[in-house]
Structures are given as structure tokens and as C-alpha cells.
Structure 1
Amino acid sequence: MNVAALATLAVAGTSFAQSSVTIGGIVEIAPFHTGTVTTRDAGAENPEVQRKSTRTAGPNTWATSVLNISGTEDLGGGLSASFFLMTGLGTLPNTNTNAADGGIGNRERSLSVTSKDLGTLRFGRFVAAPGTGFHAFSGAGSATMPGSSYGFSQGHSATAAGDFGHNNFHANANPNANYERQNNLLQFTSNAMNGFTVTVAHGRDSLDRTDVTRPGETKNEYTGVQLGYVAGPLSLAVGINERKGETEAAAAVPFSLGPPTILPVDAVTNSTNKGSLNWVGASYNFGPFALFGHHATREEETTSAGVTTTANDMKITGLGISAPIGAWTLRASANSGKDSRGVGNADNMKLAGHQVSAVYALSKRTSLIAAAGKNEYKRDGAESTAATRKYESKTLTVMHTF
């Protein structure tokens, strides 16, 4: 085929394939931010310990500063293809703790195919809609600040050093017990039919390490389903999520204490975890204000060396209100619940959180925000021996979207 023929095909292709690339994101900087972490070690008689922080020009207090690059191409026949990359501006080049790697697309990266008749099929690393969908029914303005039940879906460790004003009110020693961002995730979201939409998500992730100083193979699997309904000012949704994982510990290498003594090889030991996160949510927009409500439950079990431990057994209920008043948007939300992960009633814990915020639109893309929030994980009775944590923060921040 000659050059002229190739050029003709190229021109013909542009007649039915239209593509576009968009660059956008969020830049958020807080002129003022305070955070306090209050902890008490296990044991009813232990004193509380506080860590406080006050900073200026700090990022990621109300929202995470990110750079988004997306693109869409018309494939014809009612089909389109798209890509999405989300990069944390405060985490380059290799310090993003929410991902296994750094660089461009360290937070999210995915490819999608959309049918105008059916819906969207998406694959990559991103936040599964069923896993965190309850946050839309919390009434909280920020998922980053304390006071939001969004932390219910995360799997951070129990340590609070440096996490001033973190949004978590609970902790889990298993870093894989996370319903937020998933790797190798395949998700289908249907088009609305009589107000109903269905989202189904499934992801599998494994890592095989044979070095004797590291565990062997780690496997994780996630499945989520969300059913939503919208009719005018009314929105309803329900989400069902399950996770399971397995970690294979590397066997010890035989060695000698001096000829000819050889110690036997230790058997390979496995640890497993399984859990569920289920929720229902509703909201109604009355015009001058909107009301929100949600209820969520989360359970987690880990088994190691034949011993099963309850890592999470939580229930939480939340209410919220949002009111636009001119250039202002005022929000208030609160949640409360219980964690019964311990052994017997002596280790039951109370969950509580609240968040208030005022957002003033300086322009279409720039806002001035004042907010305060608190999440607390505290003992249910003086006899409890479990450790407690409390995260609090106040912020005055400026956010620009582009």
C-alpha cells in the first residue's frame, strides 16, 4: 500500500472517530489547620495522650489535591472508549501510601467502554462504587476530614502518629481490609431504567514473593454490588461488599548448627482474612435544604495458625443536612455506632463522629471553606480494656477546581 493510500485511510478514519483529552483537578491549600490525636492504651487506668499540630499552607485538609487527565474517543455504533488518570499532587514521586507505586496515575488509572444503550464497563485501579457509596448519603462535605463515616470503608493501621485530624474513627491491623481503592478492578454500571441503576464490581490481586525474608504469596479478592434508585428529589441505594484474602508465610530455610546437625524445615503457615461491608442510604432534596441518612455494618475475621480473631464487628448510623444559601453551602452531619470486635462486652467500643462546614463560592471554581470535625472510638463502659482513639481537626482552606 502506497503513502497516498495510507493518507486517504487516515483522513477517512477521522470522519467517524472523534476524540478529546481533558486536564483538570483540584488544588487545595489551608491557610490555617489544627489537628489533635488523643489516644489511650489498653487498660482502663491508662492516661490519655495527646498529639497536636498547627500548620499553615498545608494541603489535603478538606479535599485531596489531584491532577486528572482523561480522554474519550467515539468508536461509532453507540460505543465510546475513555481513560482516566488521577495523580496526587502532594504524593509525587513515590510517597503515596494509598498505592503500591508512585508517579503519574498513582491514585487511579482505568480504561472504560461505554454503550449508550447498556452502560459503562471500567477496568483498572479506582474506588469501587459499592464500597464507598454510603458516603453520598452521609451529608458530610468532606471525606478527608474527621466526622465523615467514609473512614468506615478504609483499612488503616491502629497507629496514629502523625495522622493529625485523620478521618478514621476505627483501626484495623490488616492493611488489605480496605473497600476504598482496588487494583485489577472490573466494574459495570448500567444505564438508568425507570430510575434504577445497577453496579457490579469484582477485583483480584496477587503478589508472589519467594525471598526467604518475605512472605510467600498474597492474594486478595473483592466483590461488590450496588442498586440505586432516583425519582425526582428522592435517592435510594443499597450496597453489598465482600473481601477475602490469603497470605502465605515463607518457610524457614534449613541450616546447620555445626556438622552434621540439620534442623528440620518449618511448615509453610497461612493466614486468611474475610469480611463484609453492607449499607443502605437515602436522601431527599426539599429545595431549600436536603436531608441524608445511612446505616452501615462491617465485619472482618482473620485466621492465623488456626486461631480466628474478630478484627471488625461494627454498626454505624448517620444523619446529615445540607442547605444552599446564596453563595454559601452549609452542611452538618453526625454518626454513631458500636464496635463489638473484642471478647465479651468488656471490649465493646462506641463509635461517634460529627462534621460541620461552611463553603463560600468566591467564583465558579474557587471556594473558601471553614470546617470542623471529630471521629471517636471510645470505651463502652469503664471496665473496657481496649485502646481508644479520637481524631479532631479544624480548617480554613481555599480550594480551586480546574
Structure 2
Amino acid sequence: MKRSVLCLAVLCALVGEASAQSNVNMFGIVDAGVRYVKNGSNSATQLASGGIAASRLGIRGSEDLGGGLSASFWLESQINADTGEVIGKFWGRRSTLSLTGGFGEIRMGRDFTPVYRVATLLSDPFGNSGMPAIDSIFSTAKINGVAYSTHYRLDNSVTYFLPNSLGGVYGQATVAPREGVDGAGHTGGLLGYKSGPLDVGVAYGQTKVAVGSVKTAALAGNYDFGAFRLYAGWSQLKYTSATENRYNLGALVPMGQGTLKVNLAQSIGKGGLYQVDGMDNKASKIAVGYAYDLSKRTALYTNLAYIKNKGGAEFVVAPGPVMNGRTSKGVDFGIRHNF
């Protein structure tokens, strides 16, 4: 950790010098709040990070190479604002190097998977942040005891993005070698269309594990009606005889200086690893949040989230109290600042 912090300090010191040669800047978000969580009959009050946006620190930059070509980099880490700790890998949110031109973009490093961009980022009005996050009712940690680490982000990935000149059509194709780590190799892609108020996409991915492959798929989108933006999505995870499907419907409603967000989601697991005592897993979730903008960079917020589990499901709105019942619920109040 000390070496990582030292490296970051050196990079920060060089930002000014690098800016003279190219476009380099530091950016981030600090989000902290008070949260109350009750999992079953166990409860806890916490000072938490990331109520409406993950707290982060990053450095990014680009250089014009001429002839329509540009090179760029993006380094981003996630932190706990309440403790100052780095979550996971130091540059765990993103660590990429890109070459962009009329042909599109070739990006290498650690970045989002195609399915995650569609299944979660296109369908969740909360952006998968905090207690309302849609992925809190989706099995992503292990498949039959084997680590499955390719739902959110991929290490060692090489991605091709279509150019931004195709009349609203966008897409990507991604490959990541295993490099000797079971459950880390991945192939996937997405195709989408964005024009005016509409943004819709479809994606597919496959990750090889010790026995067989984990297959994921998604179809999602959102539409801005002016008075509100409507979100909807479906995603699926399949492994051998097990299948998990998730559905959601949400909305984002501008209200003067504030924004109201609502999302309803359900996850249904059948067969194989989802069967406990002959019962399939099922979870339903409702999330409501409101953020009030004090300025362009600072906002106050509050969120409510509730999960009802059935079968062997033990999803929670937030980590903390040990789950010992069928429901998980929570409320928080906090502040977010962008820089």
C-alpha cells in the first residue's frame, strides 16, 4: 500500500508537467453518509461511502497524434471515504491505454465487460451505486465454488469500439485471456443504438471456468420522455443446469434542483446451484432515492432500499449485519462532491 501511495504522489506531481505536453487532469468523487441497515433481525448504523456514486480518484489524459489519431490513458481507483482505504486493486476501477481514430478505438487494460455496460449501466437509474444498486440481487461472486471475476470488469482485456460516426449505432468486442487464472478469461460483445431520447443495447459474454462456461446475456435500455426517463432491462446468467434471470423497471424524474429515482427489480434462480432444499432462489427489490443539487458539483441525498428473499436467496442491501432472515432494508443520508 505504501508503494502505491508513493506512486500516486509522484504521478500527481507530474500532472502539471505532463499537461504542458498533452491534456492530463485529475478527477474524482467523494461520497459519504450515515447509513442504517437491518438484515433479518440484525441491524447496524454505519458511516458509509458511495451512497449515490462510488468514491474515487483518477488521472486521465490524451495526446493528439495528428492525422485524426489520438492516444489516451485512464487510471482510476476506488476508495472508502469513511476510512480512506483503497478498495481492491489500487487502479481497480479502470486502468486502460487507448488508440483512437476514424476506425474507432482500441483499448487495452482493465475495464467494464460488455454485458455489464448493458445489463447494469443502461438499465439502472441509480448507476449501480449504493444500497439501491441493482447488482445487489445478482449472483456474481462464485459459481459452484469457483471464483467468477468477470461480471463487472476484466483484467488483461483488449477491446475494439466502433467509431462514433455510424448514425447512433455503437458497439464493442472484447477478449481477455485467462493468463492461468481460472474464471478470469472472457469473450463478449455488445451492440447498441443511441439517438435523441433513446438508448438501447444487447450484449453477450462467456467466461470459462474449471468445468464448462458461465454465459451471460442482457437486453436493456432507457428513454427520455422529458418529464422523466424510463429504464428497463433483462439479464441472464447460465452455468450448466443453473439459470438466473433478472428483470427491472425504473425511472429518473427531474424535480427542479433535485432528482427522484425509483427502481423495481426481481431475480429468479432455477436449477443447479440455486436449489436449496428443493427450493429455487428468488429475490425482489424496491429502491427509492432523492438527490438535491447544492451546486453543479455538490449534492445532498437520501436513499431507501428493501429486499425480500425467498428460497435460498440471502441478498442484502448493503454489507454489515449478518443476514438471519428473509428481508434486508436500509436508509441513508449523505453528501456527494465531484472534482
- Whether the 8 Å CA contact 1:356–1:371 is kept in 2: the answer is yes
Which residue does 2:147 correspond to in 1? 175
- Whether the 8 Å CA contact 2:124–2:134 is kept in 1: the answer is no
CA change 1:34–1:219 in 2 (3 A) is: closer
- Whether the 8 Å CA contact 2:56–2:78 is kept in 1: the answer is yes
Superposed, 1:98-109 pairs within 5 Å as: 99=89, 103=90, 105-109=91-95
Higher Cα radius of gyration: 1
Aligned equivalent of 1:338, options 250, 263, 268: 268
Which residue does 1:29 correspond to in 2? 32
CA change 1:373–1:20 in 2 (3 A) is: same
Which residue does 2:301 correspond to in 1? 369
Kindly state the Cα deviation for residue 297 of structure 1 after the two structures are TM-superposed: 1.3
CA change 1:93–1:390 in 2 (3 A) is: closer
Amino acid at match of 1:114: T
Q: 1:229-265, CA deviations, whole angstroms, 9 ceiling, x for partnerless residues?
A: 122212211011111123xxxxxxxxxxxxxxxxxxx
Q: 1:252-302, CA deviations, whole angstroms, 9 ceiling, x for partnerless residues?
A: xxxxxxxxxxxxxxxxxxxx352111111122111111111111111124x
Superposed, 1:237-386 pairs within 5 Å as: 237-246=201-210, 272-301=211-240, 310=241, 312-341=242-271, 342-343=274-275, 346-379=278-311, 386=312
**SS of residue in 2 equivalent to 1:138:** coil
CA change 1:35–1:94 in 2 (3 A) is: closer
- Whether the 8 Å CA contact 1:153–1:180 is kept in 2: the answer is no
**SS of residue in 2 equivalent to 1:206:** coil
Kindly state the Cα deviation for residue 93 of structure 1 after the two structures are TM-superposed: 9.0
What is the alpha-carbon distance in structure 2 between the residues aligned to residue 29 and residue 150 of structure 1?
Answer: 20
Farther off after superposition, 121-130 or 289-298: 121-130
- Whether the 8 Å CA contact 1:153–1:179 is kept in 2: the answer is no
**SS of residue in 1 equivalent to 2:116:** helix
- Whether the 8 Å CA contact 1:156–1:172 is kept in 2: the answer is no
- Whether the 8 Å CA contact 2:123–2:232 is kept in 1: the answer is yes
The answer to whether the aligner puts 1:233 opposite 2:236 as a matched pair is no
What is the alpha-carbon distance in structure 1 between the residues aligned to residue 153 and residue 67 of structure 2?
Answer: 32
Sequence identity percentage: 24
**SS of residue in 1 equivalent to 2:178:** strand
- Whether the 8 Å CA contact 1:122–1:187 is kept in 2: the answer is yes
Amino acid at match of 1:316: R
CA change 1:196–1:292 in 2 (3 A) is: same
What is the alpha-carbon distance in structure 1 between the residues aligned to residue 138 and residue 116 of structure 2?
Answer: 7
Superposed, 1:203-222 pairs within 5 Å as: 203-207=176-180, 218=182, 220-222=184-186
> Structure 2: which 5+ residue stretches go unaligned?
1-19, 318-328
Kindly state the Cα deviation for residue 219 of structure 1 after the two structures are TM-superposed: 6.1
Which residue does 2:163 correspond to in 1? 191
Number of equivalent positions: 305
Kindly state the Cα deviation for residue 369 of structure 1 after the two structures are TM-superposed: 0.8
Kindly state the Cα deviation for residue 120 of structure 1 after the two structures are TM-superposed: 1.3
CA change 1:218–1:138 in 2 (3 A) is: closer
- Whether the 8 Å CA contact 2:252–2:260 is kept in 1: the answer is yes
Q: Over the residues paired in the alignment, what is the CA RMSD in angstroms?
A: 2.6
What is the alpha-carbon distance in structure 2 between the residues aligned to residue 345 and residue 284 of structure 1?
Answer: 41
The normalised TM-score by structure 1 is 0.69
